[in-house]
Structure 1
């Protein structure tokens, strides 16, 4: 009977590893397939990625430009057409948008005026375009900006 204790690989599916430096009879003794002397025969050798033999590497030859702004705020974008999927009179907060799968949890949210909205909804978001705000208010809804961006 086959049990976990007597499992073995299928015949021919595994190879024995090449045992280097184990005497002349092995065929891989003495220099162990590394050739004679030189940098590549030593232990710990190996050319680092990007090394070009002493020539100035490409990474250093090319000019560097710009920087990464550590204060940049990434917004998840939501279109008005997506908000139209909610029922009329509902308060659409970040939690509802996450639940609906429109944004990821913990991200800042911005509403854009892509598409149209026909239902009156209250929207609580971090940022909104002026056109989107006008369309929501025209449909009878309201817009509440969170305190994070209201102070800016």
Structure 2
């Protein structure tokens, strides 16, 4: 087999549409562009969302809310999740949570919430706790340290 013997698999390629090549082709005269007008002319292009001068949809719909660029992204974790994933006397920080697959990134901080129960002694050091989460960790004999 040589390079000049290679061909495409049958059905994998199509011939181009040869427009403007006579009435018999079905694409003669106006070449599929309809009758006269801006859209039939060469070089026609229209920006996205243009509605012929009518007020475009993106301007008719009211703006709502705002995006606070100073907002902190705090990742939350429940004490029940910590109890399931970690062993007794485990030292838990942001890196341990990422390594265990509980969170993806520590973002601007990690906060522990009180959903679930704690049965193990856990030494947790994160950026924040809810009041009841801190009480649950300490009631089980663990330490809740704010960093």
| Alignment TM-score > 0.5, same fold | yes
Match of 2:96 in 1: 96
> Offset of 1:71 from its aligned partner?
1.0
Q: Would you say the 8 A contact 2:23–2:29 is kept in 1?
A: no
Q: TM-score, normalised by structure 2?
A: 0.80
- Residue 54 of structure 2 aligns to a residue whose secondary structure is coil
> Offset of 1:126 from its aligned partner?
1.9
Give the total of aligned pairs.
144
Aligned mates of 1:132, 1:69 — CA distance in 2:
28
Structure 2 residue runs of 5 or longer lacking an equivalent are none
> Offset of 1:76 from its aligned partner?
2.1
Q: How big is each residue's C-alpha offset from its partner over 1:43-81, in whole Å with a ceiling of 9 and x where there is no partner? A: 443443333222222322232232100011222221111
Q: How big is each residue's C-alpha offset from its partner over 1:80-113, in whole Å with a ceiling of 9 and x where there is no partner? A: 1111121121110111111111001342322111
> Offset of 1:132 from its aligned partner?
0.5
Aligned mates of 1:25, 1:58 — CA distance in 2:
40
Aligned mates of 1:102, 1:6 — CA distance in 2:
57
Q: Would you say the 8 A contact 2:75–2:106 is kept in 1?
A: no
> Offset of 1:137 from its aligned partner?
1.0
Matched, 1:105 2:108: no
Q: TM-score, normalised by structure 1?
A: 0.77
Change beyond 3 A, Cα 1:35–1:103: same
Match of 1:150 in 2: none
> Offset of 1:7 from its aligned partner?
5.0
